[in-house]
């Protein structure tokens, strides 16, 4: 075989190899997409909006004068978060969750509760039983994180500036656990602990989406600190997204 023919053969062999690698990659990607499609077709989703009617309550500015570090982190007064209404007439910080879903579900990756500007961020959050909660501090002052649980074990722990996150898990469902700072009485957060991963918290658009739910009949709950709680019966079907709205006043 002369050199030109040999080179052509090498190029041909390399092309065949590249094609088969490409085909294998496409098959893997295809099977991933197919698995995602099958999962979406066999599970259900809920989406909705939480609205508010009436006059939004007046919210008092928080007095942070007890700690000059905290006060110094804000150039504008900070309003108490509970009772906030979004500019589009919806509610933020609503904990929406599905009660009693049978089956075993994968525990979601760690959730984070931060302390920044001597406020908890987010103000309302959820974790599943067994899910890790990392409590971080971005503040150059000392906090004392107090989980005022009634069903889970209550605890409180000091966190110095720059300290690593406090890591906790919860063993039983509990709606809701108040979180409080023993050094800064204005600091509050609310944690929902559920037995399944089917929960969401509304944001500045007041909407929520819960995906991957097994088809069935459920009770959907909406918890707010300022406006009470509501629930509604809901039926969800495989491959469908059901709309469920709430209105508080």
* Site for Cu ion, rule CB under 5 A: 143, 181, 183-184
| Shortest spacing between CB 186 and Cu ion, in angstroms | 9
- If phi > 0 it is left, if psi is from -120 to 50 it is alpha, else beta; for residue 248 that is beta
By beta-carbon proximity to Cu ion, the closer residue of 120 and 199 is 120
By beta-carbon proximity to Cu ion, the closer residue of 49 and 168 is 168
| Shortest spacing between CB 222 and Cu ion, in angstroms | 29
By beta-carbon proximity to Cu ion, the closer residue of 168 and 184 is 184
- Cis ω before 176 (30° cut-off from 0): yes
Select the residue whose beta carbon is closest to Cu ion and give its number.
181
Nearest-angstrom CA–CA distance, 148 and 133? 15
| Shortest spacing between CB 71 and Cu ion, in angstroms | 13
Q: CB pairs under 8 A, 24+ apart, for 237-242? A: 237/44, 238/41, 238/42, 238/43, 238/44, 239/40, 239/41, 239/42, 239/43, 239/44, 240/44, 240/45, 241/44, 241/45, 241/46, 241/47, 242/44, 242/45, 242/46, 242/47
| Shortest spacing between CB 185 and Cu ion, in angstroms | 9
| Shortest spacing between CB 180 and Cu ion, in angstroms | 9
Beta bridge partner(s), residue 51 = 90, 247
Residues in the chain: 249
By beta-carbon proximity to Cu ion, the closer residue of 49 and 143 is 143
By beta-carbon proximity to Cu ion, the closer residue of 54 and 61 is 61
């Amino acid at each position: 075989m002369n050199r030109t023919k040999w080179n052509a053969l090498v190029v041909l062999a390399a092309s065949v190899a590249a094609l088969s690698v490409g085909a294998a990659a496409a098959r893997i990607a295809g099977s991933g997409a197919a698995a995602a499609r099958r999962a979406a077709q066999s599970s259900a989703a809920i989406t909705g909006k939480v609205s508010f009617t009436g006059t939004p309550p007046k919210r008092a500015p928080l007095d942070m004068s007890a700690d000059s570090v905290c006060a110094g982190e804000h150039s504008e007064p900070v309003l108490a978060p509970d009772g906030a209404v979004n500019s589009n007439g919806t509610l933020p910080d609503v904990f929406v969750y599905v009660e009693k879903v049978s089956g075993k579900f994968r525990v979601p990756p760690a959730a984070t509760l931060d302390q920044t500007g001597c406020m908890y961020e987010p103000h309302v959050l959820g974790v599943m039983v067994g899910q890790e909660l990392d409590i971080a501090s971005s503040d150059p002052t000392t906090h004392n994180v107090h989980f005022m649980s009634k069903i889970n074990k209550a605890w409180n722990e000091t966190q110095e500036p720059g300290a690593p996150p406090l890591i906790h898990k919860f063993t039983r469902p509990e709606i809701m656990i108040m979180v409080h700072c023993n050094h800064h009485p204005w600091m509050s957060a609310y944690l929902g602990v559920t037995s399944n991963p089917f929960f969401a918290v509304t944001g500045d658009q007041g909407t929520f989406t819960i995906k991957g739910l097994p088809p069935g009949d459920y009770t959907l709950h909406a918890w707010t600190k300022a406006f009470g709680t509501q629930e509604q019966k809901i039926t969800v079907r495989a491959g469908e997204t059901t709309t469920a709205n709430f209105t508080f006043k």
